[in-house]
Amino acid sequence: MSFFSKINGRQQMGIAALIMGFSVLLSRFMGLFRDKVISWQFGAGGETDLYFSAFVLPDFLNYLLAGGYVSITLIPLLAKLMEEDEQSAWKFFSSVLLWAAGSVLLLSAVLWIFAPQLVPYLAPGFDAGQLARLTEFLRIILPAQVCFLPGACFTAILYIRRQFAVPALVPLIYNGMILACGTAFPCFGIAEGMEGFCWGVFFGAFLGSLLLPYLAVKNGGLSFYFVWNHAYLKRFLWLALPLMLGQSVVVLDEQFIRIFGSLAGTGEVSLLSYARRIMMVPVGVVAQAAGVASFPFLAQLFAKNDMENFCDTLHKALKNTLVIVLPVTFGLIAAAMPVLGLIFEGGRFGMEETVLAAPYLQIMLCAVPFWCIQQILGRAFYAMEDTKTPAVAGTVITLLLVPVYYYASPRFGGTAVAFLTAFSVFLYALVMLWAGRRHFYPAYQGMLCLFGKNVLLNVIPFCICCAAGNFFAASLTGRMSLLAVQFVQICMCGAVYLAVYFVLAKCFMPENIRLILSPFLRRLKKAG
């Protein structure tokens, strides 16, 4: 009996994408609520800048060990071995787990010891007092990395088993613990300032990223061998090495905001980070979910050498993602000001901060469709066991843009940082499209025309939504609280946008309506 024959309830790609999309949506909203609490208590600047900057080194360690890509590099090899020889597959898994846990434990300990010497390079715009506080935050957050990498190995097993429910819970527990510890610890006198949020990172990583996937894998059957070497280990390291050495713009994007935001002025790290949090909601809900859900299916098709269905699956993932994400992107750009205000205003975060952050959000949102393209194309390359192309492309673009960041950030402030982060993703997506033309050309058929038509389809709803937003804001201001005005403005603008969009889509692109509504229509038919 093969490994896959033991799996009950194999999910289809669309259902998997729905599960992961719902998880990411909840996780993003929890993250936004967490940031709302942070902005209310601490505003922009001070402890907030330190908190966001404290993630630079831990995240870099995660990237260096390809922590975010363990599932991607492990799944194709492990899935193949599970079909051929399950005992050998578990030995291979055990060797990867041992090396991953040992490496991250050793490097985390070294960075923890030398944290005071490293922090001046992480935030060159901070003074001595801020750097001392940053060191404290960093030493609390660093041990969380020991949980992420082994946890990613267990999560890979769950993806192979087509068990998406537990991986969907991981970010919810992680964000929930950050919020719980951040609000509770100061109340009980356990921590001061934002230390509680830092402790939440550690406990969230342990409970959500490590313990939960381990228990889920163990419940479904886990065989562990104390084996440091395996025939497939060299192949795994060969696939992971480009991701370790290459530092792509998409993985360093958030770190660039933290590093170069410190050069842009006081509070810019926080304002840019708040804007990015909102921008990443559509990226996570649509693109990340589609990429994660499609990857196991693409890997399986490539293993069968079925490139026709591979390209067809990739085409559908790109098409469906762009159709859904473009109206979301245009709508958020139009409603950037009230969205920021509704989510973050209050306490120490006022209207002035909203006005400053709104242009950053609008600039970053322009790159959302290209975030989606690179997320899906990247998974297609990884499914073909090609990690070099995305890593080399991303690293070259990073090296070209770092001097530009250094020059522009102190001179043009946060606007330059926001523009460069959007431009880098746009450039990376174009390079990835060009690089994939030899393998994925059938998947590109009609995509440029589809993209252009959908952009044009959203222009009129966007313009009407902008005008409606200004009208509602002018009409309601003074008659109700600012929070209520922003809420009504968002609701009315959303209703106007959707109404105009669906009317135009009905006339010119009715297939868009079927695509957007199909998940709901299928559920209604089942209910009936």
Backbone phi and psi for residue 320, each to the nearest 5 degrees, phi listed first: -60, -40
Helix, strand and coil in the chain, % to nearest 5: 85, 0, 15
pLDDT of residue 13: 53
Q: Are 97 and 281 in contact (CB under 8 A)?
A: no
pLDDT of residue 501: 94
- Amino acid letter, residue 88: S
Backbone phi and psi for residue 349, each to the nearest 5 degrees, phi listed first: -110, 110
Tell the burial category of 471 from Cβ atoms under 10 Å away from its Cβ (0-12, 13-18, 19+). Answer: middle
Check: pTM over 0.75? Answer yes or no.
no
Q: How far apart are CA 289 and CA 291, in angstroms?
A: 5
Provide the H-helix boundaries in 335-387: 336-344, 351-365, 368-383
Q: Are 111 and 57 in contact (CB under 8 A)?
A: yes
Instruction: Compute the C-alpha angle 433/436/442, nearest 5°.
Output: 95
pLDDT of residue 521: 47
If you write DSSP's letter for every residue of 277-291 in order, what string do you get? HHHHHHIIIIIIHHH
Q: Which residues of the chain register pLDDT less than 50?
A: 1-11, 520-521, 523-528
If you write DSSP's letter for every residue of 248-317 in order, what string do you get? -HHHHHHHHHHHHHHHH-TTHHHHHHHHHHHHHHHIIIIIIHHHHHHHHHHHHHHHTT-HHHHHHHHHHH
Q: Give SS3 for 8.
A: coil
Q: How far apart are CA 261 and CA 415, in angstroms?
A: 10
Domain boundaries defined on the chain: 45-225, 245-528
Q: How far apart are CA 377 and CA 310, in angstroms?
A: 12
Q: Are 425 and 367 in contact (CB under 8 A)?
A: yes
Q: How far apart are CA 330 and CA 261, in angstroms?
A: 26
Q: How far apart are CA 416 and CA 408, in angstroms?
A: 6
pLDDT of residue 232: 82
Q: Give SS3 for 269.
A: helix
What the block records as the tokens of 373 is 């393209």
